[in-house]
Amino acid sequence: MINSSEILQTIEMIDQQHLDIRTITMGISLRDCARSDIGDACERIYDKIVASARELVRVGGEIESEFGIPIVNKRISVTPIALVAESCGSEDYVPFAEALDRAAAEAGVNFIGGFSALVHKGFTHGDRRLIDAIPRALASTERVCASVNVATTKAGINMDAVALMGGVIKECAELTASSGGAACAKLVVFANAVEDNPFMAGAFHGVGEPERVINVGVSGPGVVAHALRAAKGQSFDVVAETIKKTAFRVTRMGQLVAQEASRRLGVPFGIVDLSLAPTPAVGDSVADILRDMGLSSVGAHGTTAALALLNDAVKKGGVMASSHVGGLSGAFIPVSEDAGMIEAVQRGALTIEKLEAMTCVCSVGLDMIAVPGDTPASAISAIIADEAAIGVINNKTTAVRIIPAPGRAVGDVVDLGGLLGTAPVMRTSPGDSTEFIARGGRIPAPLHSHRN
């Protein structure tokens, strides 16, 4: 059992070290909303989301006030819309996104995830229609987030989907050029996507999930960095133990919030995702943690090793604190959302190539990366392919959230606002990947996938 005395121990972390609950996310199954008429289906989707989540924001606010724990976001994830929409005969799936957006606004949440398709082994007609609708859907809605899973360790990489997504991302950027290509910040391309991720933009409610569920994402880069300052100059054994103990305390707080939200809403508790999710605020940075391990800057030689230790220690501490750790759980390295990452890019200490190496050992992948607006779609597809290969070979989740910022060049800055932060435009490789991407087909699953 968890009691409030455990939370009292975290007051300093909350007040001074940016500790918070980053999100309470309610997952909602929409499988029973599939209908042949698109208007009927959209109405049922709207009604079910509003009925299910109408108390989410209120309950989150109550918990925040009673326990003194900041809960930054309240969010919703739904069944991948490609699965729900395929029963209708419509060629245009944008109305589904509009229904999600209206429901999210009515529920009072800031984001709703699940305008998604799972195409790691191939496309259905519904998958194609949804992917075609993504640019217009994200450009015309405020709260809707989209994701596409293009690869798994079991299936390999669907290179036709990879090629398609390069063009989709470019179109997203062009349709929102006035805001720096902001629609791209609401679109994630995955390998090995998980069904219980509470974080946006990649959250969706998987087909193996219950009717409704509460998943909580905690955060605490500032807390870990503060703890490591007390271990300055000590061995990596001490560093790992310090991170584990800190992750334990953070996860216990997350589980308390998840259990309280579950009890008050009458919705099953799913998982705690203990990812270290940074913000643009100074002192809330994963890059700061790596510096506190002894690196002059993120991007210096040794960065990948330091990140590997951090990610592993966070997971070990978390699983001791909760039997229901899930989602992505580890360390996020989004450039635009981390003040230390931004500073390293602007000084030339951190490149896309180094970030790619870091994604081999972190929670996700190339996240919130801005590149020049004239970057070809084939280059974006090739970046996705590289990240998918890392995920498939290493049997881990990887993802790409990339912004080809219209009219921007290397060295420019894209201000995306709020938690999305500020993205310095980064250099891409001058090489040409057009012929490689044009091959299509599927990169086969690796040998080690044949385990059953």
Average pLDDT over residues 127-137: 97
Average pLDDT over residues 65-72: 81
pLDDT per residue as tens digits for the range 358-411: 999 887 889 899 999 999 999 999 999 999 999 999 999 999 999 999 999 998
List every span in the chain annotated with CATH 3.20.70.20. 26-191, 216-440
Average pLDDT over residues 27-51: 95
Arithmetic mean of pLDDT over the chain: 89
Closest Cα to residue 404, out of 384, 378, 431, 376? 376
| Residues 31, 27: Cα–Cα separation, whole Å | 12
- In this predicted structure, the answer to whether residue 222 has a pLDDT above a threshold of 80 is no
Residue 143: per-residue pLDDT: 95
- In this predicted structure, the answer to whether residue 340 has a pLDDT above a threshold of 60 is yes
Per CATH, the architecture of 26-191 is what?
Answer: Alpha-Beta Barrel (3.20)
- Contacts from 299-303 at CB under 8 Å and sequence distance 24+? 299/344, 299/349, 299/350, 299/351, 299/354, 300/349, 303/354, 303/358
pLDDT per residue as tens digits for the range 136-153: 999 999 999 999 999 999
Return the amino acid letter for 255.
Q
Q: Which of 62-66, 106-110, 227-231 has the highest mean pLDDT?
A: 106-110
Residues near 438 by beta carbon (within 8 Å), at least 6 away in sequence = 163, 378
- Which residues make beta-bridge pairs with 372? 405
Phi, psi of 26 (to 5 degrees): -95, 120
Give the CB-side neighbour count of residue 400, counting CA atoms within 13 A: 31
pLDDT class for 335, splitting at 50, 70, 90? confident
- In this predicted structure, the answer to whether residue 14 has a pLDDT above a threshold of 80 is no
Which position has the higher pLDDT, 309 or 11?
A: 309
Alpha helices for 33-118 (secondary structure H): 38-53, 56-67, 81-85, 94-107
- In this predicted structure, the answer to whether residue 226 has a pLDDT above a threshold of 90 is no
Residue 147: per-residue pLDDT: 97
Phi, psi of 277 (to 5 degrees): -105, 110
- In this predicted structure, the answer to whether residue 15 has a pLDDT above a threshold of 50 is no
Residues near 285 by beta carbon (within 8 Å), at least 6 away in sequence = 221, 222, 225, 278, 338, 339, 340, 341
Residues near 256 by beta carbon (within 8 Å), at least 6 away in sequence = 2, 6, 7, 67
Average pLDDT over residues 46-51: 97
pLDDT class for 419, splitting at 50, 70, 90? confident
Closest Cα to residue 292, out of 356, 228, 387? 228
Residue 9: per-residue pLDDT: 54
Residue 11: per-residue pLDDT: 53
pLDDT class for 232, splitting at 50, 70, 90? confident
216-440 sits in which CATH class? alpha beta
Coil, strand or helix at 150: strand
pLDDT class for 85, splitting at 50, 70, 90? very high
Cα dihedral across residues 340, 345, 348, 354: positive or negative = positive
- In this predicted structure, the answer to whether residue 169 has a pLDDT above a threshold of 60 is yes
pLDDT class for 16, splitting at 50, 70, 90? very low
pLDDT class for 256, splitting at 50, 70, 90? confident
Which position has the higher pLDDT, 223 or 185?
A: 185
